[in-house]
Chain A
Amino acid sequence: MRSASTPPAAGNGLEPGFRGVICVSFGSTGDTAVPDTDGQPRYDLHFEAATADTLLELKSVFGSSRVGVRLVLAGPPTDIRAAAAVAADCGLLGEEVTLLSQETGPRFVYCPHCLSTTVDVTAGTEVTCHGCSTILAVTDHFSRRRGAYLGYSAHAEEAA
């Protein structure tokens, strides 16, 4: 998943005990999207997407870092939110993580009726749940843990 121009994999690229700024970008976002780190040591990573494999690699990067480290995540909202959730699990705190979210891009919608999450590419007011085919109204109620918006059956009250 790593693109050709990125630094070597974590483990051999990141010195153990790293306490600088880890900059992770996803998709087409270039490293230039990440701001200057103010003279602090910096470690860049670039991934096409936040897949299970890339998240595992991030986890090992966090595992060899030490308190004092800061994290910058740039890219599509779905990817950086998945990465932010891993960071939180590894002990990074909200104030230590900066999210540079692309304005547009797909979003996740959670369906409470079948508990599945649908990728909503069009970002309209409704989306069809890919788990149970219910047409979901998309609310602006957002869960950082899931990286998703809440949906609910859009036409339930019209049924009768």
Chain B
Amino acid sequence: MTAIALQPQVHPAVEGGLHLEVTDISRQTESIVSITFAAPEGGRLPSYVPGSHLVVQYGSGVNAYSLTGSGNAPSDYTISVLRVDEGAGGSVAMHRLSVGDRVNVSRPRSAFAPASTASHHLLVAAGIGITPILSHARAAVERGNTASMIYVHRPDAGAHVAEARKLLGPGLTALIECTNRGSFQSVLAEALITQPLGTHLYVCGPVVFMDAVLEEARSQGWSSARLHSEAFGAAELDAGEPFTVHLARSGVRLEVPAGVSLLDTLETAGKTIPNMCRKGICGECVLPVLRGAPQHRDLYLSDQEKAENTTMMCCVSRSNDPELELDL
């Protein structure tokens, strides 16, 4: 066991998730490794939507990585990690994992799902962006759909190339590898004007790459509903910044840490706050605000009510100011 496997505290982003064991490590390229996790006691893991990602805890931080399987009743999860030396340390920590290590991970989260009505999937990947794209290709093959793939990588530095080639057949009808910019430009341009009407496009890679592909597609008349790109974590509420609340009537000050809701904080302090959904939609947990600007993250208040800053939904909303004063 290495030191990073001993994680003293579960990060809020992986709370309610899974505790898994590393069962395989395989080097894809000089800078990319694939890591496979399974339940220590064996057995099936939750299925996931193609294109999903896993939030993995390293030390006190977390990172999101795409899953590479089809997601159908898996017994293990595989992610691939590109080593980024100047990053926050997540990828370096992942590269240090070895078989037998235990990690906390979230349940798979979906933010890059295939369109069920698509008759063909045009898959476009660059570099490490191959991971969710491979998941899509596998799912299309399993479901009896068709897909074609364009994969941009540096010469001799393509991850998962062998696995992608193995999928070629009636499901994955084409795999075009591009190792330079010019060839990619012309392959993409040709692909964008020759797709049958039921086609959807999926792209994953560096942000500038995705933006360029989407821009090109739009200029060729692709409507936005046909375009899908990986947006890590867009579907989830982030942990937010810590802030302080001052309860005016009871004269109490409470600290609300990052990753803990105001509702949880008030309950821990012994307050009873009506609540139902704890998701910012039912309207039960409304609180009167006397001072400070709440960071509204709910679906209940209207835009105007939010602008007035006199009420807030304490189950999801936080604060833009360092301190809020509540009529409690």
Contacts and interface: CB of A to CB of B under 8 A. Distances in A.
B232 interface: no
B226 interface: yes
B119 interface: yes
Interface in B209-245: 220-226
Interface residues of B, number: 18
A19 B221 contact: yes
Contact of A96 (B119, B194, B223): B223
A69 B197 contact: yes
B320 interface: no
B196 A91 contact: yes
Contacts of A69: 197, 221
Nearest to A71: B197
B196 A68 contact: no
Which 9 pairs from chain A and chain B are nearest by CB?
A68-B221, A91-B198, A91-B197, A67-B195, A93-B225, A95-B223, A67-B199, A96-B223, A68-B220
B221 A67 contact: yes
Interface of A: 17, 19, 62-63, 65-70, 90-96
A70 B221 contact: yes
Given A67-B199, A69-B221, A95-B225, 12 more contacts: A19-B220, A66-B193, A66-B194, A67-B195, A67-B226, A68-B221, A68-B222, A90-B197, A90-B198, A91-B196, A91-B198, A96-B223
Contact of A68 (B117, B119, B193, B198): B193
Nearest to B224: A95
A11 B3 CA distance: 68
9 contacts: A65-B197, A67-B195, A68-B193, A68-B222, A69-B197, A91-B118, A93-B225, A94-B225, A95-B223
> Which of A17, A67, A91 gathers most chain B CB within 10 Å?
A67
Instruction: Name the residue among A17, A63, A65, A96 with the largest chain B CB count within 10 angstroms.
Output: A96
Nearest to A65: B197
Contacts of A67: 192, 195-197, 199, 220-222, 226
A17 B197 CA distance: 10
